[in-house]
Amino acid sequence: MATPSTDKKNVEVLETEEDQAVSLAKYTANLSNQFCKERGAFSVVLSGGSLIKSLRKLLEPPYIDSIEWSKWHIFWLDERVVPKDHEDSNYKLANDGFLSKVPILPGNVYAINDKLSADGAAADYEARLKDLVNRNVIPLSEASGFPKFDLMLLGMGPDGHVASLFPGHPLLKENEKWVTFIKDSPKPPPERITFTFPVINSSAYIALVITGAGEAGAVQIALGKSQNSVKLPVQMVSPEGKLTWFLDKDAASKL
């Protein structure tokens, strides 16, 4: 069931998590085809949490054989400052559940430098993004001057956080850096790097993929008629391009 709410925002409520994964795979594959034709590349920003499991249908026919995987470039919305083989690593989660199963070129997978401190890793990741902009791998947004990724795949926490941008945190207001760091994350582990909202909102397409009843309260605040006057981080997601919410029935249960 699709419920368009504005020209730039679309809400899809799927009966089950399985239906949600099927819909997300079709959406992602269509965008891959579009951008590979338009500019010969497709930049995809991954999140942690349940998002990687939600991409599992891309590992099956028809997508596994039809997608131009060699043109994909993979980035991370946020990452925990831990070794790549650590159980808290978003890289490890994505590699184990998705990247190791598709023929994406290793040189097109941009993980953080896990040998650096949080602030060093954030500065290094931003420098690498700027190099990719200079080499025309990632375009710049004409409107904002920030990098314009083709597709960002976002999850959301029960508190409405996205990336490592948490309710009430000063980093919500960061408007100059592309990548920043946090050392006091309210959710462990405490040290992380994260894209900032100007980068998130310069995207061509954003998918917010939310599953389960635990997130229903934050979904209600963001999309429903909740009386809550507090603005959640997820409500600050407002891309230049198009935003699609992919909700299963449980996540949408309070709408």
Residue 164 pLDDT greater than 60, yes or no: yes
Q: Residue 6's pLDDT is what?
A: 45
Q: What is the mean pLDDT of residues 21-38?
A: 98
Residue 12 pLDDT greater than 90, yes or no: yes
Of 212 and 226, the one with more pLDDT: 212
- pLDDT digits over 82-117, tens only? 999 999 999 999 999 999 999 999 999 999 999 999
Q: Residue 231's pLDDT is what?
A: 87
Q: What is the mean pLDDT of residues 236-247?
A: 96
Q: Residue 4's pLDDT is what?
A: 40
Residue 52 pLDDT greater than 60, yes or no: yes
Q: Residue 230's pLDDT is what?
A: 74
Residue 18 pLDDT greater than 90, yes or no: yes
Q: What is the mean pLDDT of residues 146-175?
A: 97
Q: Residue 7's pLDDT is what?
A: 53
Evaluate the omega torsion of the peptide bond into residue 189 and state whether it is cis, within 30 degrees of 0: yes
Q: Residue 2's pLDDT is what?
A: 46
Closest CA to 63 of 15, 23, 109: 23
Instruction: Determine what percent of the chain is predicted with pLDDT higher than 70.
Output: 96
- Are the C-beta atoms of residues 175 and 196 closer than 8 Å to each other? yes
- Name the average pLDDT for the chain: 95
Residue 226 pLDDT greater than 80, yes or no: no
